Amino acid sequence: MKRLLLASVAAVAFAATGTGLRAADMAVKAPPAPAYVPQPAYNWTGFYVGANVGGGAATAPIFDTLTGVSVGSVSELAFIGGGQIGYNYQFSPNFILGVEWFFDGVAGNNNNSITFFAPASRNFFQASAGADWVTTITGRFGYTSPVAPWFIYTKTGWGWVQTQSTFTDLTVPASFSTTKTNGGWVWGAGIEWAFASNWSVKLEYQYIGLNNIGVTNGFVLDQFNVDKPNVQMVTLGINYLFNWSPPSPVVTRY
């Protein structure tokens, strides 16, 4: 009986020991790794200043105000150049919101002209138009790539152009003109690439829809209106960004 009891106790002890070894040998499941949120290659937050060059195209449809008749349109192309200053704020983490002031001078020899007959005065006229400078204040909104230092954006706001409109009565002859700073809404888009830690280059398009410009002839009874003139610009620019800092990785903790 004693031998049977000892054998039973030994068997139970061996079984318990084997079970414990198997439990100790089992692999422990590792906790899930933190989720990684991709970050942009660069941090665009900060003030920047830069320069640009490019070309501008203006279109100025002309109407005889007294008769409401369209007499033609003055179109011109001109070289432009100047600079810009602004601020970017990056969030969420691949979106960018900013504000920018843009100012460019216009080449002096950009006047273009047309000759037309005005029914109201029954005279022939020559009309020309030009610009001295253009400036815009816009907000920018865009997306930056998490794998490369690219920034694609759209912009909107308000712009101003200093224009010169001249009408010459070829019949009298006499000339009358007006110089005016004319404003209007702005829409644009662009792409910017950071090629160094603080430097970027950009290619940008802007459209300015200006208000109407009225011109009164002081020599004969006639009036003209430059109806809905617009300016389109394509510029290549370079920016220096202040307070540039590399992005820090964002993780989600469990």
Domain boundaries along the sequence of the chain:
43-245
Predicted local distance difference test score (pLDDT) of residue 161: 96
Predicted local distance difference test score (pLDDT) of residue 24: 47
Predicted local distance difference test score (pLDDT) of residue 84: 98
Mark the ranges of the chain whose per-residue pLDDT is less than 70: 1-40, 109-111, 216-221, 244-254
Predicted local distance difference test score (pLDDT) of residue 206: 98
Find, among 60, 58, 62, the residue nearest to 223 by Cα.
62
In angstroms, rounded to a whole number, what is the distance separating the alpha carbons of residues 110 and 195?
Answer: 34
Identify residue 118 by its one-letter amino acid code: A
Predicted local distance difference test score (pLDDT) of residue 169: 85
Predicted local distance difference test score (pLDDT) of residue 120: 74
In angstroms, rounded to a whole number, what is the distance separating the alpha carbons of residues 75 and 209?
Answer: 14
- Given a contact cutoff of 8 angstroms between Cβ atoms, the answer to whether 230 and 209 are in contact is yes
What's this model's pTM, rounded to 2 decimal places? 0.78
Predicted local distance difference test score (pLDDT) of residue 225: 83
Predicted local distance difference test score (pLDDT) of residue 227: 85
At 179-204, the pLDDT tens digits run: 889 999 999 999 999 999 899 999 99
Does the domain spanning 43-245 belong to CATH 3.40.50.1820? no
